[in-house]
Structure 1
């Protein structure tokens, strides 16, 4: 195990920081911030691989597949976090984007010893959700060697699902096992081996890209507007009104009428205003366009008068 750790940049020791505890708080903060600033550049180096993975994932999801993140510890928590933010942002069903963490929900708040060491546990977790060939499995592991993440990708590949391996070390077993390997090498951490730091930040950035751009490809946005937002509270209802206004430049009363007519559905309300159709027609056009508002709008505008 020690020999394996010696080859991982995420576990490397930075001798120049051996006495960091003797520095002032401001000096430590500056050192940490300087290290964090390197993360976006490391992500940028992987953009072609990230884009290829997203295009493949969006294709599976357009066929009804799910996006499933699996990881242990910090990596698993980040996957659960990203998945949990998709329903309120993109109005996805909770089962469309899922996060599974080694050890189950308990592991979100405390360590579950030994869970990350089991490939079999990952296979069991995927079996429990009934993984299909249309699904997308993203194994997340800073080291790129965590058995739970590697096992998830290997088992998913056997079932014909699309696999993505996200790690922070080069030449990782996780990337090698996946259809699409993404290796964001951020270098040694401020605190040796504490991969919740730069590695965690890198993983969060990439997961943001995977979910957000996949949803853009699936028609969950109109430009940069969240037209599939779920208005479950007053803040989101206000946001819904603002989104329709930004998309249509319509007066407040017109926006309110459109939202009332469509039951608060932002995408439908925009189509009612811009396409000059009634609410049932808007719903039909959006369904026929597989949820893509731009396509539905073209259908509305191209339809013969009367």
Structure 2
């Protein structure tokens, strides 16, 4: 794989000076940075009134996400298509946006039984930035591009850049490099007409308006991004056969709570007792899908695994396959 020309990235991505028309004008024109007179005296409000105000503000976020569904849906389908073809999903962000990407990626292995390498999150500044901000990391487009190289992104993959402002240089640098490598690129931001959307093949923009604390995009913008990332990972996993109906048939039962859940799932799908469900799970090393086939169809564990493999791991297809 050819490494990117770092000078080229620096020449074509925003830098510190791009925050301004000649000063802070462009930054303050972003709705995510704007102030709102309704919130001008929040420091004088009693706690109950302030909590009520925040709750009202938060209640507007799902509607903003709904308005963005026409751009969210095709992005999900395109990501699912890449992953069905053997590719992976990579989230790239800085600050709160980066942490949300890392969080969503980290939830996929326990929830859907995916390999840790299938859905990954990259944050500007590296793993330490998950806990402690790394000053200036988000301003480096070259580092964003290098992160894509280090992640060994290929044309089979999908890369989602996440930035509340839609103009974070690190994220734009990453998206441009991923596009050069042929990956599907998606930009997720909370401002309309953002540079990130222009740099990506597909753009998801969820304008949520000014924050109750001006510029604190961990609030409404962060909530909007979390909702969209939930949609992306969950619906993609449903498309990949990681659920049967609304049941998590690929979860990894690593503790007693999850083992009990696995017993309930097998019992519900196979319509057997808890003891029969547990026996099928014991026979299949707690592979929920195989256990369902054993309990419901009377297959041997080996035949159950073979049937699942033949159907690409889709339990419903395996259940409906003609014997």
Q: Which category of TM-score, normalised to the shorter sequence, fits these structures?
A: over 0.9
1:80 to 90, 96, 102: 102
Deviation at residue 110 of structure 1 after TM alignment? 1.1
1:187-198 counterparts in 2 under 5 A?
187-198=209-220
Q: Secondary structure at the match of 1:100?
A: strand
Q: Secondary structure at the match of 2:55?
A: helix
Equivalent residue number for residue 256 of structure 1: 278
Task: Please give the alpha-carbon distance, in whole angstroms, between the structure 2 residues aligned to 1:83 and 1:27.
Answer: 36
The normalised TM-score by structure 2 is 0.92
Equivalent residue number for residue 317 of structure 2: 295
Does the 8 Å CA contact 2:311/2:318 hold for their aligned counterparts? yes
Equivalent residue number for residue 281 of structure 1: 303
Q: Does 1:129 align with 2:129?
A: no
Equivalent residue number for residue 190 of structure 2: 168
Equivalent residue number for residue 24 of structure 1: 46
1:147 to 169, 181, 188: 169
Give deviations 1:152-193, integer Å, cap 9, x for gaps.
Answer: 111111100001100000000111111210000100000000
1:184 to 206, 210, 214: 206
Deviation at residue 19 of structure 1 after TM alignment? 1.3
Equivalent residue number for residue 53 of structure 1: 75
| Structure 1 spans left out of the alignment, 5+ residues | none
Equivalent residue number for residue 17 of structure 2: none
Give deviations 1:98-135, integer Å, cap 9, x for gaps.
Answer: 00000001101111111101111111111112111011
Task: Please give the alpha-carbon distance, in whole angstroms, between the structure 2 residues aligned to 1:258 and 1:48.
Answer: 43
1:204 to 226, 237, 245: 226
What is the count of residue pairs matched by the alignment? 301
Deviation at residue 270 of structure 1 after TM alignment? 1.0
Task: Please give the alpha-carbon distance, in whole angstroms, between the structure 1 residues aligned to 2:275 and 2:123.
Answer: 46
Q: Does 1:35 align with 2:57?
A: yes
Equivalent residue number for residue 108 of structure 1: 130
Equivalent residue number for residue 234 of structure 1: 256
The CA RMSD measured in Å over matched residues stands at 0.9
Q: Stretches of 4+ moved more than 6 A in 1?
A: none
Task: Please give the alpha-carbon distance, in whole angstroms, between the structure 2 residues aligned to 1:291 and 1:175.
Answer: 35
Deviation at residue 273 of structure 1 after TM alignment? 2.1
Task: Please give the alpha-carbon distance, in whole angstroms, between the structure 2 residues aligned to 1:53 and 1:157.
Answer: 15
Equivalent residue number for residue 221 of structure 1: 243
Task: Please give the alpha-carbon distance, in whole angstroms, between the structure 2 residues aligned to 1:267 and 1:172.
Answer: 43
Give deviations 1:210-236, integer Å, cap 9, x for gaps.
Answer: 000000000000000000000111111
Does the 8 Å CA contact 2:145/2:175 hold for their aligned counterparts? no
